[in-house]
């Protein structure tokens, strides 16, 4: 039903040229340059819920082999709970939705040659046939091209501390303002300026809601409470799905963020993480790190300082978010079909 609404006025439906034996002509308009795995194509044909997954967390977020283990586990959780995972990436320049084969994932997870691909990097990576991990921003772009509306990840990019001088604001926020995909995450990373991130999202018209009772604050990725209040709260997957559905029906065109506070047993202590992050931010300044390199740099420093504890937590949050995203995608599916 949504495809009629969203693409109303579009008389020609493209048969998509996609890899694999099957070539299903779907009643949705999909960008013909995308490569979509058979599993994801079949999910579209069967009207099954699909959850998109990013891959910068694989190529630049976690070290090998933790990254590949996480990538496999997160896909398994989504399948086990009744949806289909669609990990996105650039494979030899081809924008890919659903990695399909284990060897592709293995290569992406182990090579040092992958680019970190946000919106501005896409045409370069495509033109030069490179491998690339997709950030939240570019995952949203590929998900939207494929018609996927729910996306699970770890932590959101945002306004960096000191952005009033550096102007370092993640392209994730800009994308949320212009692409109608719902991002389920554990909040903006606490390496960021969370108040400014919230201001920016408000300016861009992005709905932000946190799972929990009314009054529950935005989580800060590693810790359950960033101290910054959440504009909205939701308590069930249906609540979230109905908000996403309303935004699509009205064709608002902007994305949304659903924050899931990290499970208590794996969240990190707020005070401890604040001091670790303050040191990491100073180390980045001293080393002259900036731009797209700063997020991977800070995450690595935080793992070192927590003896790997932040890494275990990071993986746990992604899995938990994927579980919640699956429930939301299932509810959204019921509202749509
Ligand atoms: N959160 C994590 N690990 C990551 C990222 C976020 O726990 O690797 C990645 C996401 O892909 C996000 C990107 O989109 O970092 C943001 O980078 P930047 O601040 O350069 O936009
Ligand atoms: Mn940046």
Substitution site in 52, 136, 300 for ligand 1 pocket (most atoms within 8 Å of beta carbon): 136
Give the DSSP letter string of 44-113.
HHTT--EEEE-SHIIIIIS-TTHHHHHHHHHHHHHHHTT-EEEEEEEETTEEEES--SHHHHHHHHH-S-
pLDDT at residue 164 in the model: 94
**Residue whose C-alpha is closest to residue 309's, from 279, 259, 278, 272:** 272
At 221, list the tokens: 């990725």
At 240, list the tokens: 């979230």
Contact 205, 212 (CB under 8 A): no
* pTM across the whole model: 0.91
| Alpha carbon nearest to ligand 1 atom 21, residue | 170
Q: Is 53 in the pocket of ligand 1 (CB under 6 A)?
A: no
Contact 310, 274 (CB under 8 A): no
Distance 135 CA to ligand 1 centre (A): 6
Instruction: State which ligand 1 atom lies nearest to the alpha carbon of 170.
Output: 21
Contact 95, 125 (CB under 8 A): no
Nearest ligand to the CA atom of 191 = 1
- The residues annotated with a catalytic role in the active site are 54, 189
Distance 156 CA to ligand 1 centre (A): 6
- Per-residue confidence of the chain (337 residues) as pLDDT tens digits? 223 222 222 323 333 444 544 444 444 567 788 999 999 999 999 999 999 999 999 999 999 999 999 999 999 999 999 999 999 999 999 999 999 889 999 999 999 999 999 999 999 999 999 999 999 999 999 999 999 999 999 999 999 999 999 999 999 999 999 999 999 999 998 889 999 999 999 999 999 999 999 999 999 999 999 999 999 999 999 999 999 999 999 999 999 999 999 999 999 988 888 899 999 999 999 999 989 999 899 989 999 999 999 999 999 999 999 999 999 999 999 999 9
Q: Is 168 in the pocket of ligand 1 (CB under 6 A)?
A: no
Distance 107 CA to ligand 1 centre (A): 20
- Report every protein residue that has its C-beta within 5 angstroms of ion ligand 2: 168
Q: Is 170 in the pocket of ligand 1 (CB under 6 A)?
A: yes
């Amino acid at each position: 039903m949504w495809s009629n609404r969203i693409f109303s006025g579009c008389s020609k439906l493209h048969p998509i040229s996609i890899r694999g034996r099957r070539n299903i002509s779907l009643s949705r308009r999909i960008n013909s340059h995308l490569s979509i795995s058979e599993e994801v194509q079949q999910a579209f044909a069967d009207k099954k819920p699909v959850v998109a997954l990013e891959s910068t967390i694989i190529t630049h977020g976690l070290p090998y082999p933790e990254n590949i283990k996480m990538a496999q586990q997160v896909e398994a959780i989504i399948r086990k709970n009744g949806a289909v995972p669609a990990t996105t990436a650039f494979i030899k320049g081809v924008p890919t939705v659903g990695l399909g084969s284990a060897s592709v994932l293995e290569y992406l997870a182990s090579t040092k040659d992958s680019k970190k691909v946000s919106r501005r990097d896409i045409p370069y990576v495509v033109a030069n046939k490179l491998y690339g991990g997709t950030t939240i921003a570019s995952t949203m772009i590929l998900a939207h091209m494929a018609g996927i509306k729910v996306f699970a990840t770890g932590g959101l990019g945002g306004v960096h501390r000191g952005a009033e001088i550096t102007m370092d604001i993640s392209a994730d926020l800009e994308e949320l303002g212009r692409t109608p995909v719902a991002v389920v995450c554990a909040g903006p990373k606490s390496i960021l300026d969370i108040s400014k991130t919230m201001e920016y999202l408000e300016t861009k018209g992005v709905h932000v809601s946190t799972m929990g009772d009314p009054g529950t604050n935005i989580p800060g990725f590693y810790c359950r409470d960033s101290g910054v209040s959440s504009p909205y709260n939701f308590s069930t997957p249906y609540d979230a799905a109905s908000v996403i559905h309303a935004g699509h029906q009205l064709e608002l065109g902007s994305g949304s963020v659903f924050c899931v506070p990290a499970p208590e047993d794996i969240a990190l202590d707020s005070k401890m993480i604040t001091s670790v992050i303050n040191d990491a931010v100073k180390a980045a300044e001293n080393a002259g790190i900036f731009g797209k390199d700063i997020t991977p740099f800070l995450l690595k420093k935080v793992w070192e300082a927590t003896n790997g504890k932040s890494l275990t937590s990071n993986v746990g949050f992604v899995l938990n978010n994927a579980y919640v995203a699956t429930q939301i995608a299932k509810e959204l599916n019921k509202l749509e079909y």
